Structure 1
Amino acid sequence: MTESTYLLAERLGQLLRGLKHTVTTAESCTGGGIGQAITLVPGSSAWFEAGYITYSNRIKSKLLGVPPALIETHGAVSEPVVLAMAAGAIQHSAANYAVAVSGVAGPDGGTPNKPVGTVCFAWGAADALQAATVHFEGDRHDVREQSVNFALLKLIRLCEQS
């Protein structure tokens, strides 16, 4: 993890502590990287509720309640699926906020519609989730690192607007 990633996680913690809110993560392509960044910050147990690593579609459905039909219709790397992942993470953890991520980190798995580097994110509170799809350049490590930083930045902006 880079120093800048740590600083983002530290800033997120400062904001969440000030708001007296908690966050949960639902991760696929980052494999727990967001949760790792968060838990490297001392005192994160006060504001980090839970982290779900839901790499397979079956586990996305089983742990987070993502409807299998949603995955079949849109694919695991889609805004509807990450929105459902974030909603499920909040529901199962009682956190105030969630961030969810699913993407194609590479080097394989890309398609013409979803090339390697395509990552979908959802973040927010249960009643105000937002989603975005981003394309990152680089190898698998680069895509995952950029995804972690993007997720942390979105949570920081959310807290700053609260």
Structure 2
Amino acid sequence: MRSVPSLLTMLGDQEPPRNVMPPWHYVHLRRRAAGLSIAQAAKPFWIRPEHQHDVERHFRNLEAENIRYQRLYVTEGKPYFFSVEVYHQLANLPPHQHPHICVGCGWDEHSTQYDHNGDDATWSAEQPDICTRCEQGAAWNAHKAEEKARHAA
């Protein structure tokens, strides 16, 4: 009789599942990381005032749950960066083929982003689901909260 590995043994060899990020959440994180409102993000894309409402609606729909666009009319880097390729990977590929994306700001390791120290962002050593920029931001916020609590006491 041949020895066949059990299903539990085979499952034990796999990596733990990563968080699955939907494409609309990715776009929302990138806009939020840029510090822009929907209106500010849409502004460079409408020229005539009568187009403002339609363009802003399009940007709201990019972040609406369960809407996936096959064609995006957003130019990368204008006014904030999100990768059309990453968007399509999140929208069209199975989760095990998704890129590793920061759950704090939507950064992926193939994009250029600097942390708060001016260095290239990379993955946090302590929390592998966030980038060093988000890690530094969280540390700064914690420090400010401690100072505020100290002054209030």
The TM-score normalised by the length of structure 2 is 0.27
Q: Whose relative contact order is higher, 1 or 2, with alpha carbons under 8 Å and at least 6 apart?
A: 1
Higher strand share: 1
The TM-score normalised by the length of structure 1 is 0.26
* Structure of larger gyration radius: 2
